[in-house]
């Protein structure tokens, strides 16, 4: 059997540990690749486990900074939230991992990449499509889609072949995490009527156990990217880490979402995303004060399209590139500060300001200093209502009938 080389996205867990031996048995020379996106794993132990399990080489890369700068911040600028709830944490991490795997494959002379995704989830699409976009010549191997093993079978396979895995007991949940959020599914969560039990949460405190006094944080932005906390310049990694801790301590960031997966099934997901929730909230508040009305309303459509494309694995696509150009242009004046109040599971914007804000006190105030020309309103309203007035004059009998019915109903209700 000839040996071919494959780069495996290696997490160190049961699936990918078994995959190393399974791929070797299929004639593959396996190169393990692990990317740190903020999972707080023992990367040295993972690397050693990969080599011991049979990988010919094991790479570990720190992807935290490029994850935030190249994937999270552009999506924050876009305001991308999938189905109004999910900040896209896992979905944003996969194209970066796949892109880095392609680079390792080129360096190693590999002809394929492999991942441990199942045939039921979204991540398989993200890995496969990203590879197709960046390196269409590379083969994609997905052992879990091919082998006929359930979890118990995998545990037995690992025992039979002397594969060390960190745990063999069935966990009640399936989890994934990075700097932008933590996702939890399976177990009791598969019942959409069941309230998530306390042990689901790891990053966020029960609101009933949060401090009795509110906490405040000021987030500074420059052209739509967060750059400071409480007036102090803060690097991206430290900024997100701090907001995850602060938000979690105050119970902010819990999301219970019944979402539509790409493959056509509905799935109940629990997310913890304190930093993402706070930053998306703050960014929206700053846009509210700096973007013209027409730009803001059209940008809502772009945000929805962006979120859908990221969720569907189309980060590396012509349309996403084109949308990015639009989003970047809209952020030119999104610079300023937002103050947020956190209290027992809630967060509210309580202040916002920017050097190029479109809110002008002289136009908005009803008090002293009012610079608004109220006499201009009459002419504006006359022109604005011209279409309605013309319709009423030409087709007035229709409106008269509708008005008569309405007045009859009002009379009946008030008699």
Using a 10 angstrom Cβ sphere, with 0-12 exposed, 13-18 middle and 19 or more buried, the burial of residue 196 is middle
Two tokens at 29?
């020379």
Domain 174-291+333-362 fold is 3.90.1260
Given a contact cutoff of 8 angstroms between Cβ atoms, the answer to whether 114 and 144 are in contact is no
Distance between CA 236 and CA 242 in Å, rounded?
Answer: 10
Two tokens at 92?
């944003």
DSSP string across 251-303: T--EEEEEEE-TTS-EEEEEEE-HHHHHHHHHHHHHHHHHS-HHHHHHHHHHH
Distance between CA 241 and CA 203 in Å, rounded?
Answer: 11
The 3-state DSSP class for residue 115 equals coil
Encode 158-191 in three state secondary structure.
HHHCCCCCCCCCCCCCEEEEECCEEEEECHHHHC
Q: What are the sequence ranges of the domains in the chain?
A: 4-63+87-160, 174-291+333-362, 376-414
Q: What is the pLDDT of residue 412?
A: 84
Q: What is the pLDDT of residue 1?
A: 44
Catalytic residue positions, numbered: 15, 94, 123, 174
What are the helix (H) ranges across 64-192?
64-66, 73-78, 89-108, 123-134, 143-146, 151-160
**Minimal CA–CA distance to 68: which of 183, 228, 236?**
236
Cα-based angle 143, 92, 54 (whole degrees, multiple of 5):
30
pTM of the predicted model over 0.85: yes
Distance between CA 336 and CA 358 in Å, rounded?
Answer: 12
Q: Which CATH class is domain 4-63+87-160?
A: alpha beta
DSSP string across 316-337: SSHHHHHHHHHHHHHTTT--EE
Q: What is the pLDDT of residue 263?
A: 83
Q: What is the pLDDT of residue 366?
A: 85
Given a contact cutoff of 8 angstroms between Cβ atoms, the answer to whether 269 and 259 are in contact is yes
Dihedrals φ, ψ of 54, to 5°?
Answer: 135, 0
Q: Give the pLDDT of the chain (415 residues) as one tens digit per residue.
A: 456 999 999 988 888 999 999 999 999 999 999 999 998 788 999 999 999 999 999 999 999 999 999 999 999 999 999 999 999 999 999 999 999 999 999 999 999 999 988 888 888 999 999 999 999 999 999 998 989 888 788 888 888 888 887 655 566 778 889 999 999 988 889 999 999 999 999 999 999 999 999 999 999 999 999 999 999 999 999 999 999 999 999 999 999 999 999 888 899 999 999 999 999 999 999 999 999 999 999 999 999 999 999 999 999 999 999 999 999 999 999 999 999 999 999 999 999 999 999 998 888 888 887 888 888 889 999 999 988 888 878 876 656 667 778 888 888 888 7
């Amino acid at each position: 059997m000839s040996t071919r080389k494959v780069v495996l996205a290696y997490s160190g867990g049961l699936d990918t540990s078994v995959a190393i031996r399974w791929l070797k048995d299929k004639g593959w020379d396996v190169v393990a690749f692990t990317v740190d996106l903020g999972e707080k794993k023992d990367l040295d132990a993972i690397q050693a486990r990969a080599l011991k399990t049979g990988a010919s080489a094991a790479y570990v890369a720190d992807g935290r900074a490029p994850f935030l700068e190249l994937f999270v911040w552009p999506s924050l600028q876009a305001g991308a939230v999938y189905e109004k709830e999910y900040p896209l944490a896992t979905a944003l991490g996969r194209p970066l991992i796949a892109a880095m795997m392609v680079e390792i494959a080129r360096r190693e002379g590999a002809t394929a990449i492999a991942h441990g995704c199942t045939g039921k989830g979204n991540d398989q699409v993200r890995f496969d499509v990203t590879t197709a976009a960046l390196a269409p010549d590379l083969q994609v191997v997905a052992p879990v889609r091919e082998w006929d093993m359930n979890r118990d079978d995998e545990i037995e396979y690992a025992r039979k072949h002397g594969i060390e895995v960190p745990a063999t007991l069935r966990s009640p949940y399936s989890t994934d995490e990075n700097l932008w959020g933590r996702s939890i599914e399976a177990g009791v969560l598969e019942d959409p009527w069941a309230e998530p039990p306390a042990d689901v949460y790891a990053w966020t405190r029960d609101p009933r156990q949060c401090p009795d006094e509110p906490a405040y944080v000021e987030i500074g932005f420059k052209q739509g990217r967060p750059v400071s906390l409480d007036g102090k310049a803060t690097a991206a990694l430290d900024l997100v880490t701090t907001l995850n801790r602060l938000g979690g301590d105050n119970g902010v960031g819990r999301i219970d979402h019944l979402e539509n997966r790409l493959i056509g099934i509905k799935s109940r997901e629990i997310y913890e995303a304190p930093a993402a929730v706070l930053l998306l909230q703050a960014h929206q508040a700053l846009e509210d004060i700096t973007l013209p009305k027409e730009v803001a309303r059209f940008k809502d459509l772009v945000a929805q399209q962006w979120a859908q494309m990221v969720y569907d694995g189309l980060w590396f696509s012509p349309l996403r590139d084109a949308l990015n150009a639009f989003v970047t242009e809209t952020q030119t004046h999104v610079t300023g500060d937002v103050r947020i109040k956190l209290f027992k599971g809630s967060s509210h914007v309580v202040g916002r300001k920017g050097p190029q804000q479109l809110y002008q006190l002289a136009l908005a105030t009803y008090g002293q200093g009012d610079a608004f020309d109220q006499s201009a309103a009459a002419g504006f309203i006359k022109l604005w209502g011209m279409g309605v007035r013309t319709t009423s004059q030409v087709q007035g009998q229709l409106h008269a009938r509708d008005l008569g019915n309405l007045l009859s109903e009002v009379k009946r209700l008030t008699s």
